[in-house]
Structure 1
Amino acid sequence: MERAEVVASLILSAHALARIAAQDAGNEAPSAQWRVLSILENSAPVRIGDLARAARTTQPGTTRLVGELERTGLVVRASDPQDSRATLVTITAQGRQALEDWRVELRTTLAPRFADVSDDDWLALERAADLLRTHSTERPTTGDSE
């Protein structure tokens, strides 16, 4: 397998495992919710447009999702002090807890699928996880979008 194929395979497999875990756990929250909360977890307040780009969703879709997340207390919205037409989004403590709970649910649900992995393969998976984390640290930029 070529290098580009390996990375693509890892990404597709990770998405499939996340879907499987959500289905097996009965978690009905949309994956976009977890993606947005994960982006916000390590970011300063983010404008809606920048959040949409980082989450690879439309701005109207992100605005709707952020509204739902705000209603459930997972994020807060505020006007950008530098541009009152723009909206900034920040994760709340409740949002951080929900994200951590979801990650625990993923780990717990997926653990049986990996029960037979050898120590050497675990080391390979740990190394792959470290490499993917290192190469996926892009943060949303602040721009002129809402």
Structure 2
Amino acid sequence: MTASDDLEAIIVAAHALTRIAALDTRNEAPSAQWRTLAILREHGALRIGDLARLSRITQPGATRLVRTMTEAGLVERAADADDSRAVRVAATAAGDEAYLAWRRQLTGALLPRFADLDDGDWDALRRTARLLTDRVASPHPSTPKEIAP
């Protein structure tokens, strides 16, 4: 296998793990909600247009999602200090806790699938997780500034 094949396999497996865990937990919340909370935790308060771009959804879609999440107490909207016409969205404490609880749910749903791994396998997974986390945390020179962590 090539490096490209290896990276592709990791990407496909990560997506599959998330889908499997979401199905196993029977969590009814839309994945866009969790993605939105993850983005807000990573970037802090954002304008709806920036949130839409980072979420890869339309601005009207982001507006609808933010409205639903605001009603649920997961995010809050506030006037942008730099532009009174704009609104910034931030996760609330309840949103942060819901996001962390969802991550614990996913982990709990997936742990049984990994119960047969030995210490060497876990060491390999830890090393892989660290490498991936480091790569995601440091932007590549070709990464647009607005999506860099």
Q: TM-score, normalised by structure 2?
A: 0.88
Q: Which has the higher contact order (CA 8 A, sep 6+)?
A: 1
* Cα offset, 1:44, TM superposition: 2.5
Q: Deviations over 1:57-82 (max 9, x none)?
A: 22221111111111100000112121
SS in 2 for 1:141: helix
Q: Deviations over 1:35-93 (max 9, x none)?
A: 11011113221111111121222222111111111110000011212112221010000
Does residue 141 in structure 1 map to residue 146 in structure 2? yes
- Asked if structure 2 preserves the Cα contact closer than 8 Å seen for 1:21 and 1:106, the reply is yes
SS in 2 for 1:29: coil
The letter of the residue matching 1:133 is T
Aligned to 2:50: 50
Aligned to 2:104: 104
1:140 and 1:37, CA in 2 relative to 1: closer, same or farther beyond 3 A? farther
The letter of the residue matching 2:74 is L
* Cα offset, 1:125, TM superposition: 0.8
Distance 2:44 2:21 in 1: 29
- The unaligned stretches of length 5 or more in structure 2 are none
- Asked if structure 2 preserves the Cα contact closer than 8 Å seen for 1:51 and 1:140, the reply is no
Q: Number of residue pairs matched? A: 142
Alpha-carbon RMSD across the aligned residues, in angstroms, is: 1.8
Distance 1:50 1:2 in 2: 35
Distance 1:140 1:112 in 2: 39
- The alignment-based identity, stated in percent, is 51
Higher helix share: 2
Aligned to 1:11: 11
Distance 2:76 2:9 in 1: 36
* Cα offset, 1:119, TM superposition: 1.1
Aligned to 1:40: 40
Q: TM-score, normalised by structure 1?
A: 0.89
Distance 1:97 1:80 in 2: 25
Aligned to 2:130: 130
- Asked if structure 2 preserves the Cα contact closer than 8 Å seen for 1:46 and 1:140, the reply is no
SS in 2 for 1:99: helix
Q: Deviations over 1:95-125 (max 9, x none)?
A: 0100111011011110000001121111111
Distance 1:140 1:33 in 2: 24
Distance 2:19 2:69 in 1: 20
